[in-house]
Structure 1
Amino acid sequence: MTTPGHDQARVERRRREHERQAVVFGVLIAFLAVCGIFALAVYSGAINAPFNRPFTTVGVSDQKTYPVPCLPAVEGQPDGALPVAYTQVEVLLLNASEESGLASAHETVLAKRGFTILGTGNVPRLLEESEIRFGTRGTVQAYTLAAQFPSMRLVLDDRKGRAIDLLIGADFDPPLKVEDVDVAADQPLQNIEGCEPIDSVEPEQRIMPTEEDDVDAVRPAK
């Protein structure tokens, strides 16, 4: 048989336990509420996330930012360089991602539009964004091909010929629909915003092939 004193002590212990539980649960609820408000603010853009790092594809190398050369002056075209006929744009398609079949898929679309496809292959590095690489003599060709895409990185390299390379990255944009391509034979191409005079741009080393326009040096596409 319990005494009134023991009952009172038990009641006090339970009361203190309930108070501690209330404090613990109150702190947890407050913490979750703060986290929710913070997440909502980040999602809505009201504040910047503390870890503001873009998502990257595993295994993809960091892409350097290159200066983009402006279009050159072309004799007989005082209003600006006109696009090159698609048949005169010789392009090598190189898969720069781990996904197979990209070079062949681009070949199907671009060849149908009249571009001269020199071949397909795999470049020995992984890229996130696609790039068009070209020499000084192929600048207009590069701009003409770039107009087929919603966005494209242009990289000047040290090749001598007019042939250009399209490196297809993991986060590639497919070609635009034909009706959405803003190219007309009698309308000058537009310089990319922020471009620099081509003479002031230091060419990068060509990735591949190692010999000028040596398509045989390219490994077959996946």
Structure 2
Amino acid sequence: MTSPAPDPVRETRRKREHERQAVVFGVIIVFMLVAGLAAVAMYTGAFSSPFSRPIYTPVAEAPQPEPCLPQVKGQPDGALPVPYSNVKVRVYNAADGSEPLAGANADALSERGFDVVASGDWQAEKIQQSEVRFGSKGITRAYTLAAQYPDVRLVLDDRKGNTVDLLVGEQYSPPLSQDRVLLSADAPMEDVEGCVPADEITPIPQVVVTKKKG
């Protein structure tokens, strides 16, 4: 009895299957070798894994610290309030609303004796919390003005003079009644909590408000 003749089609298919299996096993072996070498390299510190890199998230810029009161010549116990008539103030509405906040505050401060030299709309960014802005020569004047309000921030800018600006913000609080203003002509003022000496603060650029024609 003779053996059946080999089927050429079947032989070709078997040969292709063997070749495909060889390729698949070869790829798996190469991948395992590469993975093993990478693991050894990371273990020995040859290179770092991308998953070990720290993830950095943007941090909001911290607000400028508020300045402490300066030492004043002739006032060894601390800086005294400045007489209201010696405090030149500009009052600006820095809120989005149309309510005439600047004029109302200018009138209130004028009635108390402050020298209000200008009022109007703030032409820069709108702000939330009301601010008193001033230069290094106007710190005691800024503290004197800020004492009239329950919640304002003291912001140091790079102006040269001693005029101070009151920016009435979105979170507006009206002036305290005069009997609640904690100032006395012969009692030194107190530093705001967490203050920093003015010479350790980088002043922000002064914003100059131009008068509108009309």
TM-score normalised per structure 1: 0.66
1:95 CA displacement: 0.6
- How many residues were matched structurally? 152
* Structure with greater Cα Rg: 2
Q: Which residue of 1 aligns with 2:30?
A: none
Q: Which residue of 2 aligns with 1:92?
A: 90
The one of 63, 66, 87 equivalent to 1:65 is 63
RMSD of equivalent CA atoms:
1.6
Instruction: Report the Cα distance in structure 1 between the residues aligned to 2:101 and 2:165, rounded to whole angstroms.
Output: 14
Cα pair distance change 1:63/1:120, threshold 3 Å: farther
Q: Quick check: 1:164 aligned with 2:169?
A: no
Q: Which residue of 2 aligns with 1:49?
A: none
Following TM superposition, where does structure 1 have runs of at least 4 consecutive aligned residues deviating by more than 6 angstroms?
Answer: none
Q: Which residue of 1 aligns with 2:206?
A: 206
Cα pair distance change 1:120/1:219, threshold 3 Å: farther
Instruction: Report the Cα distance in structure 2 between the residues aligned to 1:218 and 1:65, rounded to whole angstroms.
Output: 29
Letter in 1 for 2:211: V
Instruction: Report the Cα distance in structure 1 between the residues aligned to 2:61 and 2:178, rounded to whole angstroms.
Output: 29
Q: Sequence identity, in percent?
A: 45
In structure 2, the residue corresponding to 1:105 is in which secondary structure? Answer: helix
- 5 Å matches for 1:1-222? 65-99=63-97, 100-124=99-123, 125-209=125-209, 217-219=210-212
Instruction: Report the Cα distance in structure 2 between the residues aligned to 1:162 and 1:63, rounded to whole angstroms.
Output: 28
1:98 CA displacement: 2.0
Letter in 1 for 2:159: R
1:197 CA displacement: 0.7
In structure 2, the residue corresponding to 1:87 is in which secondary structure? Answer: helix
1:80 CA displacement: 0.2
1:176 CA displacement: 0.2
Q: Does the aligned pair in 2 maintain the 1:122–1:219 contact within 8 Å?
A: no
Q: Does the aligned pair in 2 maintain the 1:142–1:164 contact within 8 Å?
A: yes
Instruction: Report the Cα distance in structure 1 between the residues aligned to 2:114 and 2:133, rounded to whole angstroms.
Output: 16
In structure 2, the residue corresponding to 1:141 is in which secondary structure? Answer: helix
1:219 CA displacement: 4.1
Unpaired runs of 5+ in structure 2?
Answer: 1-59
Unpaired runs of 5+ in structure 1?
Answer: 1-61, 210-216
Letter in 2 for 1:108: D
1:218 CA displacement: 3.4
